Structure 1
Amino acid sequence: MANLSRRALAFGLPLGLVGGSALQILTTGHSAAEAPAAGPAPSPVAARVTPLAQIRVGRFTVTALTDGYADMPYTFFPGRTAAQVEQAAVSQFVARPSGVRFVFNQYLIEDGARRILLDTGPAGSIGQTGALPQALAAIGLRRDQIDAVIVTHMHEDHMGGLVVGGQNNYPNAELYIDRRDIRHWTDPAKRAGAPDYLQNSFRMASEVVKLYPRLQAIDGEREVAPGVSIIDLTGHTPGHIGVRIADAGQSLIMVSDMLFPVVHPQATDVGFVFEQDRAAAQAMRDRFFPLAASEGALIAATHMPFPGLGRVVLDRGQMRWQVTDWALQS
């Protein structure tokens, strides 16, 4: 298991200003006719309002995007009963008849020289998704203008956009994935023994390896660009990683599936049905959450309510998620 050091986190300093405030929330409506010509037709969610949020971290501009949403059944959270999860979801206003409302956030990192995208969403394979190309178009970008994609792990909701339509949708991008995840998700024996709900992930993993000749299998923590570093968050999958960006004394750590809505960070013992190693995932949360709280880490999380940006805070002996008060930062 990775050793999470204070230096590796190094967080919590105020963000720079964008347009007069630390966060710009932009919403744009796009019809299917306005979608980029290349690639598959957008899902119904893509024609709705497209939310965007931009922050500055030193020289970096980070744009929060979303591919859409899905409702996860209340039975998907081992460690609590479905009734307990539903009760918590109701109290947090994210309960739906079919489960907990999950969003699928992605993050675009720009420094003036490179555009790096963190994950590509499920692209229609789960729920009401497939909106990422339209979100990119809303800021004037096509997928072929992305220089690099970092895949935090090889679950379908993080890499579906790479291969939707059976094609390479980011043809000019270098691709970074942890070698342990590639090994796991392309292993025929593991695929043969996996439950049905993981079969899409195994199928997509094979397509990613086949369609992306610029794939780089990475080993452990490393810098993939100046100020953009991979951190090891093993547990949710064998090669689950996060990304830390840092510049000018400011930083942001993107934790992918370390945090799930409703259950985290309050209860580290509550898992999620897709976790490959539940004990390892809990052990990572047990280490990460208290350290993040003590350092005031600024965090981005894939499935927390859009834009997925906040902090883990210790409140009267219990950890909770605190959405960052963007409007009042300076």
Structure 2
Amino acid sequence: MPQLSRRAFAGALPLGLVGGSLLGGGLMAGASAPAFGATPEAAGTSPMPVSVTPLAQIRIGRFTVTALTDGYADMPYAFFPGRSAAEVEQAATAQFTARPSGVRFLFNQYLVEDGERRILIDAGPAGSIGKTGALPEALNALGLRRDQIDAVIVTHMHQDHMGGLIAGGKNNYPKAELYIDRRDVTHWTDPAKRNGAPDYLQTSFRMAEEVVRLYPKLQAIDGEREIVRGVSIVDLTGHTPGHIGVRIEDGGQSLIMVSDMIFPVVHPGTTDVFFLFEQDRAAAQAMRDRFFPRAASEGALIAATHMPFPGLGRIVADRGQMRWQVADWAFQG
């Protein structure tokens, strides 16, 4: 398994709110979610209504990084091998992410801008699961259309990270270059893999084929590389064969978007708990066991897709145990 470069964790930035609506923005709560993997038609889902569009921005050197969200879904307590459903519910309750129908997962996306290019990290499930479909509205709140996005980095080819690319059966980011790890492209477009996969992964296989068909600018990338100056890929394989993170770094400051390395009940203190959709549990645990201590030692600022909005925090060592700590917020002038 490739080694994570030390540079991935250098220079963590103190976090600040520079123009979002974190304190006033909230998602409408109380609606139940269908089982993960259901299609909009089967689940009867629709785009998620929001009371206030949540936006939060931080600066990483010359970059502005805006946390957005496509919505949320509740994952059944039985979806987390390694603990009983009752134990998972207890852990989620302690983290205030427990709901009657399961663990509340957010679907956070991150827009990276440097004045020249706009790069979106992941595209959300777009109504294919839970109460989702809010990303276009979030972009609109920034005065942006999807055809103004220059590039989209897909951290892996699960439906909740790529559904927005092809919602409505069309290319929704027509001017964007698309970056996906080659291992994931190969896996999710392999008919033999699809034929042997469980039902709950079939939507991801179908969507992957649509992404490849609708995005001629798709670049299947290999390993850690720089997309543009200061935006580079971190190999986090395990959750899927080509699961990646994204490092944003400039001026001695950095942020690592780690995608599905962290969930509300899968975190530094419980690396032996898994999510049902982990492709290779042993590899996923090994990557977390290596990544978390190093992130803690370096004080890396981290963005995580499914943690409560805006998904930003750090991994810290606390009396010999590692835990997730939500990043402090401070207004900046």
- The 3-state SS of whatever aligns with 1:18 is coil
Matches of 2:318 and 2:61, distance apart in 1: 29
- The 3-state SS of whatever aligns with 1:25 is coil
| Equivalent pairs, count | 316
Larger deviation, residues 4-13 vs 46-55: 4-13
CA contact (8 A) 2:18 2:332 kept: no
Deviation of 1:17 after TM superposition, in Å, equals 7.2
Unaligned runs of 5+ in 1: 31-41
Matched to 1:229, the amino acid is S
* Structure 2 equivalent of residue 39 of structure 1: none
Deviation of 1:29 after TM superposition, in Å, equals 9.5
* Structure 1 equivalent of residue 34 of structure 2: none
* Structure 2 equivalent of residue 35 of structure 1: none
Matches of 2:105 and 2:135, distance apart in 1: 15
Measured against aligned partners, the alpha-carbon deviations of 1:75-128 in whole angstroms (never above 9, x if no partner) come to: 111111111000111122111111000000000000000000000000011100
* Structure 2 equivalent of residue 151 of structure 1: 154
1:105 has 2:108 as partner: yes
Matches of 1:106 and 1:196, distance apart in 2: 26
- The 3-state SS of whatever aligns with 2:136 is helix
1:302 has 2:299 as partner: no
Deviation of 1:269 after TM superposition, in Å, equals 1.0
Matches of 1:211 and 1:5, distance apart in 2: 34
Matches of 1:297 and 1:164, distance apart in 2: 34
Equivalent positions of 1:1-330 (< 5 A) are: 1-15=1-15, 18=18, 25=22, 43-327=46-330
- The 3-state SS of whatever aligns with 1:260 is coil
CA contact (8 A) 2:181 2:244 kept: yes
TM-score in terms of structure 2 length: 0.91
CA contact (8 A) 1:24 1:55 kept: no
Matches of 2:218 and 2:115, distance apart in 1: 23
CA contact (8 A) 1:28 1:138 kept: no
- The 3-state SS of whatever aligns with 1:197 is helix
Measured against aligned partners, the alpha-carbon deviations of 1:154-204 in whole angstroms (never above 9, x if no partner) come to: 000000000011100000000000000000000000000100100000000
Matches of 2:222 and 2:84, distance apart in 1: 37
Matches of 1:299 and 1:251, distance apart in 2: 9
Matched to 2:88, the amino acid is V
Larger deviation, residues 4-13 vs 117-126: 4-13
CA contact (8 A) 1:15 1:58 kept: no
Deviation of 1:69 after TM superposition, in Å, equals 0.2
* Structure 1 equivalent of residue 31 of structure 2: none
CA RMSD of aligned residues (A): 1.9
- % of aligned pairs identical? 81
Unaligned runs of 5+ in 2: 28-44
TM-score in terms of structure 1 length: 0.92
Matches of 1:221 and 1:155, distance apart in 2: 20
CA contact (8 A) 1:146 1:170 kept: yes
Matches of 1:329 and 1:85, distance apart in 2: 38
- The 3-state SS of whatever aligns with 2:56 is strand
Matches of 2:152 and 2:67, distance apart in 1: 15
Matches of 2:26 and 2:329, distance apart in 1: 23
